């Protein structure tokens, strides 16, 4: 909510990435993240616990990125930490440009 307030962006909340909706198969996350890639729009996704590794796995899958230490860390953050995935949509398909990992203050 603070990010939306600061940027003036419209906020569209969804419970699809909530821990309560988590399943080992990750089907809901796969569909949700896949749709964001289909739309090719900027998006902020927030979640917790077991959902985060599934989100990261879907981003890696859609961009065919090589998994490195930053991506591994992003898939298993400490409480309050967050990551930013920069994705470019090219004619050849989505490309993971960079990943930022930020420790909680």
Domain residue spans of the chain: 2-102
Q: What angle do CA 48, 63, 54 make, to 5 degrees?
A: 25
Q: How many CB atoms lie within 10 A of CB 83?
A: 18
Q: How far apart are CA 43 and CA 55, in angstroms?
A: 13
> Is 19 or 10 the better-scoring residue by pLDDT?
19
3-state secondary structure of 102: strand
59, 33 Cβ separation under 8 angstroms:
yes
| Cα 54 → chain centroid | 9
Q: pLDDT digits over 67-80, tens only?
A: 999 999 999 999 99
Predicted local distance difference test score (pLDDT) of residue 17: 92
Check pLDDT > 70 for residue 1: no
């Amino acid at each position: 909510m603070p990010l939306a307030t600061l940027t003036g962006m419209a906020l569209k909340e969804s419970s699809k990435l909530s821990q309560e909706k988590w399943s080992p198969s990750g089907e809901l996350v796969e569909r949700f993240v896949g749709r964001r890639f289909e739309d090719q729009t900027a998006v902020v996704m927030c979640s917790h616990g077991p959902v985060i590794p599934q989100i990261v796995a879907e981003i890696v899958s859609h961009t065919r990125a090589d998994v490195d230490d930053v991506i591994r860390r992003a898939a298993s953050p400490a409480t309050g930490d967050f990551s930013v995935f920069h994705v470019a949509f090219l004619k050849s398909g989505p490309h993971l440009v960079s990943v930022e990992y930020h420790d909680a203050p």
